[in-house]
Amino acid sequence: MATNPPMIIGWRETVGLPELGITAAVAKVDTGARTSAIHATRIKVFDRDGRKWVRFHVPHARLEKGLECEAPLVDAREIKNTSGVPQERLVIETLLTLGGRKWRVEVSLANRANMTFPMILGRTAIRRRNILVDAGRSHLADGTRKERK
């Protein structure tokens, strides 16, 4: 039985979240982080058709007003921030595109204003996807490969 070779990605990649209107966001691939996260502000939970939804703002460098997004709320869970301090965060599920592939991922909403990358791609997002991470290179999946300095 033939198996497909793994997709090799770098420590930073350009991803899309098309259901949120995000066509290209630079994400840090962080296998030390369990959950993926995206920079979001003005986060509000609301009801729609008997379900909990969340509305949030995604600041965008190329868009003066950023993006206003909505998604069904999957969960509110305690997630450790970059300092290891637990925080309660809202979690959504959305479609992720990377290197010509697409699949559904859970993403927590967090204020990442002081972080270098607006998005973290955590290990559960790439688990069981036949993906390997080359920590010495970046942008392998989108074809703009760079060596880490």
The answer to whether the CB of 109 falls within 8 A of the CB of 20 is no
Predicted confidence at residue 90, as pLDDT, reads: 97
Which pLDDT does position 146 carry in this prediction? 58
First to last CA, the chain: 39
20-49 pLDDT, tens digit per residue, is: 999 999 999 999 999 999 999 999 999 999
Per-residue pLDDT at 127 = 94
State the CB neighbour count (10 A cutoff) for residue 11.
Answer: 18
- State the pLDDT at residue 99: 94
Residues with pLDDT less than 70, the chain: 1-2, 61-64, 144-149
Single-letter code of the amino acid located at 24: A
Cβ-count burial of 63 within 10 angstroms (0-12 exposed, 13-18 middle, 19+ buried)? exposed
Helix, strand, or coil (residue 63)? strand
Full-model pTM: 0.87
Q: What pLDDT shows up at residue 13?
A: 96
- Sketch out the chain's domains with CATH numbers: 8-139 (2.40.70.10)
